[in-house]
Amino acid sequence: MADAPLDPLLLGQRVVAILETGQRTATYKLALLMALIEHCIENLPERPDDRLTVPIPELAHRVLSIYWRQVRAFEGRDLVQVRGSTGRITEAAKTLRAAAGAANSGLSLEVAMLRAPDAYEQAIEKITVALAKQPLPRLQKLPGAPTSDPFLYDDSLLGEGVTRSRLRAHGDSIVLNAGIAHGLARLAGLLKPALETMWVDDVRRMNRFLDEQVPDVAGHLFGRERIALAAVRGPLKDAFGNDCFYCGATLPPDNPIDHVLPWSLVGIDGLANLVSSCARCNGDKGGALPAVDLVDRSLARNPDVLEQIASDLTWPTQRERVVAAARGLYRGQPSGVPTWAGFKQSKRLDIAFPPSWL
Ligand SMILES: [Zn+2]
C-alpha cells in the first residue's frame, strides 16, 4: 500500500497518533523514531517522492548513541527504560560501556568504538536483532489491531521470529515508502522535541523514585549537560582565536562550545560542527536552525587544522556527516523560513544561490 506519497502534515499526525495510542512499555519506539528522523536528515534522497533504503545496523548505531549517555547511573541509580523485563538494547549499551572502561564516565561513543571495536560490533549485532524483533514491527501496530499498518515501511519480515541470518538474507534493511524520508526530515523540528517530551514522561512513570524530587531528567536523557565538550575548548581557541564565532566578542576561559547544526536536531559532536561561542549567542541560538552562511563559514574553516585537533584529541571531525545533515535540514525547508543569523537577528532562508556543499 501507500504508493502515493503521504502529505508531511498527515505523516506527522499519524506518527504522533500511533505513539500516543499505543501503551509504551519501553522507550524503544521513541528511540527508533528519533534514529529514523536523523537518518533521513543525513541521507535525504534527491527527489521528495523517493523511497529510501535504511540499513538496520545504521539505525542500531544511532539508537546506541542515543542510549549511550542515558544508561549512566542517574541520582545514583540505573534508570528503567523497559517495563517488566531486562532491556536488550540498554543492556547492550551497558556492556559496551564496561568493555570500553567507561562505566559512568563522559567518554564519547566514538572513542569507545576505537577502544573496544569488537565489543562495539557485538553491541550493534544485538541491537540490530532487537530492533527487528520488536520496535520496528511494533511501531506501526496499533493496540488491538491484528496486523500492522505499514505506512512508513514494509515490516512483514520482522517480528519476534526473525533471525540474524534471515535479516541478512533480506539485505539487513528496511525501505521507507515513497515520500517518507523527505517527510520525516521536514518534520524533524516538530517531532524531535515532542518525542523527547514523551520520553521524559515515560521515564518518570517507569522510575517511581523520580517522582519524589524534580531532578533534571531531560538533561540526563538528552545531554543538555552535553558530553564533556570541555576538551575541545582550548584547542579550538588556539586554532581559531579567542573570540565568539558568531559575534566576535572576546571569550572568557569557560565559554560554551556551540553546535552549529543544533544538537537537538542532529546531535553531531564532530569538530566540524563545533565552534567557540559566547554564552549570549549560545543561549540566544538555542535549537534554532542557523542561517546558511554561518554553516558555510564554519565549514570553510581549515580542514587540516581541524584534522590535527582531531588526531591530538581522538575526537572525530565528521565533516561529511555535517555536510549531509545540513543538506537534509535545509533542502527540507520551504524558502522564507526564519533562520538564526546572530544574537537577536534572523534571516529568511533563501537558497537561490546555494553554497557548493548545499
Ligand atoms: Zn557571541
Q: Summarize pLDDT for 90-148 with one digit per residue, the tens.
A: 999 999 999 999 888 878 898 899 889 999 999 999 999 999 999 999 999 887 888 88
- H-type alpha helices, 241-343: 263-266, 279-285, 292-299, 303-313, 319-331
DSSP 56: H
My answer on whether 279 and 296 are in the same domain is yes
**Is residue 354 in a domain?**
no
Cα distances (angstroms) measured from residue 38 to each of 10, 66, 181 = 19, 11, 10
Ligand 1: distance of its center to the CA of 237 in Å?
A: 14
pLDDT at 1 over 80: no
Examine the fold and report which residue of 200, 222, 244 is the final residue of a domain before the chain moves on.
222
Examine the fold and report which residue of 169, 191, 222 is the final residue of a domain before the chain moves on.
222
Averaged pLDDT score across all residues of the chain: 90
pLDDT of residue 147: 83
My answer on whether 235 and 291 are in the same domain is yes
My answer on whether 304 and 339 are in the same domain is yes
pLDDT at 3 over 70: no
State the Cα–Cα distance between residues 292 and 40, nearest whole angstrom: 20
Cα distances (angstroms) measured from residue 201 to each of 6, 20, 58, 314 = 29, 12, 27, 36
My answer on whether 131 and 184 are in the same domain is yes
Structural element, H or E, at residue 129: helix 117-133
My answer on whether 19 and 153 are in the same domain is yes
My answer on whether 53 and 20 are in the same domain is yes
Strands 338-342, 274-276: parallel, antiparallel or unpaired by DSSP? unpaired
* Mean pLDDT score, 7-19: 86
Ligand 1: distance of its center to the CA of 225 in Å?
A: 20
Ligand 1: distance of its center to the CA of 57 in Å?
A: 39
State the Cα–Cα distance between residues 202 and 89, nearest whole angstrom: 16
My answer on whether 252 and 201 are in the same domain is no
Ligand 1: distance of its center to the CA of 279 in Å?
A: 7
Ligand 1: distance of its center to the CA of 14 in Å?
A: 40
- Per residue, the 3-state secondary structure of 330-356, as one string, reads HHCCCCCCEEEEECCEEEECCCCCCCC
**Is residue 18 in a domain?**
yes
Residue type, 327: R
Examine the fold and report which residue of 222, 238, 259 is the final residue of a domain before the chain moves on.
222
Number of domains in the chain: 2
**Is residue 234 in a domain?**
yes
State the Cα–Cα distance between residues 225 and 313, nearest whole angstrom: 20
- What 3-state DSSP class applies to 5? coil
Ligand 1: distance of its center to the CA of 358 in Å?
A: 25
Kindly report, residue by residue over 218-256, the tens digit of the pLDDT: 888 887 555 578 889 999 999 999 999 999 999 999 999
My answer on whether 186 and 237 are in the same domain is no
Query: Containing domain of residue 261, as a range?
Result: 230-348
* Mean pLDDT score, 51-57: 97
Ligand 1: distance of its center to the CA of 177 in Å?
A: 42
Name the more confident of 16 and 282: 282
Ligand 1: distance of its center to the CA of 251 in Å?
A: 8
Cell numbers found for residue 83: 517495563
My answer on whether 134 and 25 are in the same domain is yes
pLDDT at 6 over 80: no
Cell numbers found for residue 232: 575541545
**Is residue 3 in a domain?**
no
pLDDT of residue 227: 55
* Mean pLDDT score, 57-62: 98
My answer on whether 194 and 308 are in the same domain is no
> CB of 158 within 8 A of CB of 133?
yes
Nearest to 191 by CA among 25, 351, 32: 32
My answer on whether 204 and 326 are in the same domain is no
Ligand 1: distance of its center to the CA of 283 in Å?
A: 9
**Is residue 356 in a domain?**
no
State the Cα–Cα distance between residues 73 and 103, nearest whole angstrom: 9
Ligand 1: distance of its center to the CA of 246 in Å?
A: 5
